[in-house]
Structure 1
């Protein structure tokens, strides 16, 4: 109710959309041209739904603190809301990246802009919260930590809204300014100070039910996972607000660019990916030496083989080889978990392998949906590493009839053509592209559009030729008086893996969120009727036997 009252107050008294102008405008300028894309119909609403749905688990957590009902009931009723919020934040971030890549024409998909960061930080905190509530519900530990993550997640969502609407930090995403920034800043302080005070007050009643038995346990790996996620969020937060701090201290507003975030967050993220693969392979409570060796043997061997093959093939960048090897390690662990689960399911139901593997995620949704999310993150990681390290870009100028070779592509420019689409002027600069080894050329159509009332702001229509291995990304830069055209040409390896990984991540999230149907499993055949009931947690034990 407090959150709703705050936003209604803003709508009614501070930034009402129904306020009348004191003059009659002759005509509006229209929507900013770069926002005239279907992605803008989906990306902002999904992100805002993700922001504000964080308020639901936050409200449950505050109710638990106020009422003193500090058992796991608030987790049980809010877990699916936490997951739903995480799904919307994931979708919003992915759509924003897709829009930046396909519309802005700078050859990339993530620039660490302050507004991008403000959407990324709540996602990191919610990812940590998802793992933390699982540990608390399962083992009765991390209770104070979990409450702190709820408060942090909601605080970061309010901070993101404040950052976008206040205009205190320059951003390519800031399309308007308003007077609501100070109100959001006050509310941000309120939603941090009061909940933290409640948490301190109730902290004696939030002690763990049992100590962690060992650092080599699944709950410990989840805690380390949480710490890395929050470390990335803190690094990102510091880079985002540093220009303000610099201006306040020195009088000069510093600029924090993409290299800082890549260099600071890259190693942390790689460690996070490694833990993402290690955690599911470690039992709860305590891992014995034999269990660790049995569970880690194949994933470690797979990572080692992957690294060796990459070096033999000529890859010499140690960080890149390590990143690919870690990804191979995680994928091998996920495949091993699906194999074990599918094997136990076949023993119980006599289903064939494909059917057992397909039905496995729907039977144990949280566990195997999470594995699909992890697999999606691996695809994204491979795409990001490949497109960042092996990216090729070149500026070329072509007269009609001329050709140029960029990477493995030959580009031929037949000449530009102009036309009108309503009142919008369109200039198209087609390119015939022929990739080495192909026999038939294809045509791509980079263009520029000049909209009415935005004559000084022509927009670029990016032309992208996508394959599984790379994207040819062409931007129409300028048109010369002699008919020549200047192009920015990028060859971005494996970008499509990012979008495929994002889709798999969302699919896994939806499977984990989807309520269990309660359908009965097929009865086991007589040959395995004497087997004890097996849960997903018992899969490793059953296979080991």
Structure 2
């Protein structure tokens, strides 16, 4: 049996196993027969097995240069290093769709295994049913519309090769981590739907999906950060986030899921906000599907998308069905989800969590509106009008600053109702430290409103976090007599969920420092240089001292050597390149970076003229490393 045949049969078998699981589960529910439900559960393992076989088959086709397969010929060639042949699996829409279905099937198998002893619970069969329906949708597309195993009418001598921009080490990690985040939210979504169908609307579904929520959020966060790093080192424009439609498509579910993780804590602790949390987890899942729709529909132009693949309509239909069905379920369950408890005071930790949610959703809405505005304008005026980076920055920057302030306030306010003494005791020191720090920054020359406010708030949030760690360690010291370090480590371990949140908040502080510094104080300059000439940018002097050409694997490289000095002190040499890849129509610009805690020196060579005359583009991005460290 050839790998193509194995792949096609495995995809079809995974689809049939998914349908079989749905039929068996529905039969078991209608007959109240655990035997059918158990058979349906086992069918979910068959989906994972067959999906894994399809994934192995596709990988094998890439590693053996099977160019008779259209997908392999489109995203690989003989000269492509083995490392990048592995990433070619998800380089196009067909392979990434298989990757999605495969990982989802593995997630489902894990759920089926962990719940093997819970078949008598009323909601368990419905969890399986929802998951089987979602995975069947993906394999239905793979078998009928968009298979990665489709054959060409001939066998080309070589493939077209992987897009040079994707031949970056970060691309072996960025798409998979992003997908792991997207896919992971299917599990809490299924638990929430099952809870509403079965009427089990207690805290059980929330507790059992806590880890799925957090792990999926972590993967989505890592994926977004790796995407920013890839854009920074590969696209050559000197930035890391451009509010591109596909970037926004990953950012929107991140914002909603962040809101959900915060209010889930309130529901677990106070048994309130049940309706809100149901709506948030549904919105998170729908936003993940929406992101997939944008990437695969071609309705908006992006450097990251797959173009018009013909799948957009299917995902739009699926998204509409999920949204309508979920809304109806929430409406039917509304009376049971409502609780008699309410927030007791605006000055309480619960209220800050709610304000946090409002701001996160406001940012998500403004980002969504700006992203789909070209579609709205086309429907209204017949022309696609776009909004650019200034719109997103102008709307979202104030909201982000409010969110940052809430991040500092939240740990300092008591649950239920904060007293005046509580506020005075907890706020005084962080407030004074941040006020003094802000004044020092103003004296040092940071006078613009947004940067000064952002840095001051960062000081405030950092001070509150440090105060919480110190206060917790001291309290344990008084009780146990342990040393300061031992007390700190043990209190953090005992309350790791709480202090883990503080660590995440400190990471946010570092990211804000990096983003603010690199956007508000960025320097850029471009010059045309002959050999031996130099340009200056800020404190740097950049002298063009050498040029060389050489071949390496699947590309020809033209490299310029730049001698770097700062304030007259030599710092060494940097090398920036133009690369011409085999089978690529356009050359790529390779970035040269010199990174310190203070700033990045960022060099690219967008053009090479006659007699080795080059165009050198330089940028100085202050404090950006702090942003990556925070991420």
Is 1:450 matched up with 2:576?
no
Is 1:473 matched up with 2:602?
yes
Between the aligned partners of 1:125 and 1:109, the Cα distance in structure 2 is 22
* 1:234-270 alpha-carbon deviations (Å, 9 max, x no partner): 0000001000111111111112211111111000010
Question: Residue in 2 aligned with 1:257?
Answer: 388
Question: Residue in 1 aligned with 2:590?
Answer: 461
1:139 is aligned, of 257, 264, 270, to 270
CA contact (8 A) 1:399 1:415 kept: no
Question: Residue in 2 aligned with 1:484?
Answer: 613
Question: Residue in 1 aligned with 2:73?
Answer: none
Question: Residue in 2 aligned with 1:41?
Answer: 172
1:119-518 residue pairs with structure 2 within 5 A?
Answer: 119-436=250-567, 438=569, 440-454=570-584, 456-502=585-631
Distance 1:70 1:285, change over 3 A: same
Between the aligned partners of 2:619 and 2:451, the Cα distance in structure 1 is 20
Q: Which segments of structure 1 move beyond 6 Å, counting only runs of 4 or more?
A: none
The two structures, once aligned, show a CA RMSD in angstroms of 1.2
Q: CA deviation at 1:350?
A: 3.0
Between the aligned partners of 1:441 and 1:186, the Cα distance in structure 2 is 57
Question: Residue in 1 aligned with 2:162?
Answer: 31
Between the aligned partners of 1:356 and 1:409, the Cα distance in structure 2 is 47
Q: CA deviation at 1:494?
A: 0.7
**3-state SS of the aligned residue for 2:361?**
helix
Gaps of 5+ in 2: 1-131
- Paired residue total: 500
Between the aligned partners of 1:350 and 1:278, the Cα distance in structure 2 is 30
Q: CA deviation at 1:12?
A: 1.2
CA contact (8 A) 2:561 2:574 kept: yes
Gaps of 5+ in 1: 503-545
Question: Residue in 2 aligned with 1:538?
Answer: none
Between the aligned partners of 2:177 and 2:474, the Cα distance in structure 1 is 39
Between the aligned partners of 1:172 and 1:477, the Cα distance in structure 2 is 18
Q: CA deviation at 1:442?
A: 1.2
Distance 1:396 1:494, change over 3 A: same
1:107 is aligned, of 238, 246, 249, to 238
Question: Residue in 2 aligned with 1:10?
Answer: 141
Between the aligned partners of 2:596 and 2:315, the Cα distance in structure 1 is 44
**3-state SS of the aligned residue for 1:388?**
helix
* 1:264-297 alpha-carbon deviations (Å, 9 max, x no partner): 1000010001001101110000011111111111
CA contact (8 A) 1:218 1:279 kept: yes
* 1:309-339 alpha-carbon deviations (Å, 9 max, x no partner): 1111122212221111111111111011001
Q: CA deviation at 1:423?
A: 4.6
Between the aligned partners of 1:18 and 1:405, the Cα distance in structure 2 is 53
Between the aligned partners of 1:358 and 1:385, the Cα distance in structure 2 is 32
Deviates more, 1:464-473 or 1:409-418: 409-418
**3-state SS of the aligned residue for 1:30?**
coil
Pick the structure with more helix per residue: 2
Q: CA deviation at 1:176?
A: 4.5
Between the aligned partners of 2:480 and 2:530, the Cα distance in structure 1 is 68
Deviates more, 1:306-315 or 1:382-391: 306-315
Between the aligned partners of 1:209 and 1:465, the Cα distance in structure 2 is 58
* 1:437-463 alpha-carbon deviations (Å, 9 max, x no partner): 64x431111101101111x41011100
* 1:152-185 alpha-carbon deviations (Å, 9 max, x no partner): 0000000001110111110011244422111100
Greater RCO, 1 or 2 (C-alpha within 8 Å, sep 6+): 1
Deviates more, 1:208-217 or 1:70-79: 208-217
Question: Residue in 2 aligned with 1:70?
Answer: 201
CA contact (8 A) 1:415 1:483 kept: no
CA contact (8 A) 1:410 1:434 kept: yes
Between the aligned partners of 2:564 and 2:489, the Cα distance in structure 1 is 40
1:82-121 residue pairs with structure 2 within 5 A?
Answer: 82-121=213-252
CA contact (8 A) 1:140 1:209 kept: no
* 1:21-59 alpha-carbon deviations (Å, 9 max, x no partner): 234334321111110111111100110110011000000
CA contact (8 A) 2:555 2:582 kept: yes
Between the aligned partners of 1:411 and 1:437, the Cα distance in structure 2 is 11
CA contact (8 A) 2:299 2:308 kept: no
Between the aligned partners of 1:332 and 1:21, the Cα distance in structure 2 is 62
CA contact (8 A) 2:301 2:307 kept: no
* 1:107-152 alpha-carbon deviations (Å, 9 max, x no partner): 0000100000001111101100100100000011111101000000
Deviates more, 1:260-269 or 1:176-185: 176-185
CA contact (8 A) 2:438 2:452 kept: yes
